[in-house]
Amino acid sequence: PLTALALAEIYREAGVPDGVVNVITTAKAGDTVSAMLHDARVRKLSFTGSTEVGRRLLHEAADQVISCSMELGGNAPVIVFDDADLDTALDGAMIAKMRNGGE
C-alpha cells in the first residue's frame, strides 16, 4: 500500500486531476472490494496475489461480468549459494521481488 500511496502523490504533484487515481485502504478488504465490484462504474479488475484470493475475486466479478487480469501464486523464490556476495544477492532479490509492486 505504501507504493500505491507514493505513486498517487506523484500523480497529484504532476497535475493528474482529483478522482482519476484513487487509493483506497481498509481493514475490511472483502467488504470494500465486494462493494466496488458490484458498482456499475467498475469495468476492469487487475489483481496480483494468491490463487485463493484470485478465485474469490473472479467469483465476485462474474456477477457484473467484469473483465479480469490476474497474476496468481508467485512468491519470487531465490537460491543463494554459500559463496555468494550476500549484499549483492539481497539487492538483486529485493529488486526482483518488488519490481511490480503496486500493480
Task: Give me the chain's average pLDDT, please.
Answer: 87
Listed residue (40, 95, 93) closest to 64, CA to CA: 40
CA dihedral for 25, 21, 98, 2, sign (positive or negative): negative
Contact present, 66 and 42 (Cβ < 8 Å): yes
- How confident is the model over 41-86, as pLDDT tens digits? 999 998 878 888 899 999 999 989 999 998 887 666 778 899 999 9
The pLDDT > 70 percentage for the chain reads 90
Distance between CA atoms of 80 and 85, rounded to whole angstroms? 9
Q: Where are the domains of the chain?
A: 1-28, 38-96
Distance between CA atoms of 55 and 73, rounded to whole angstroms? 11
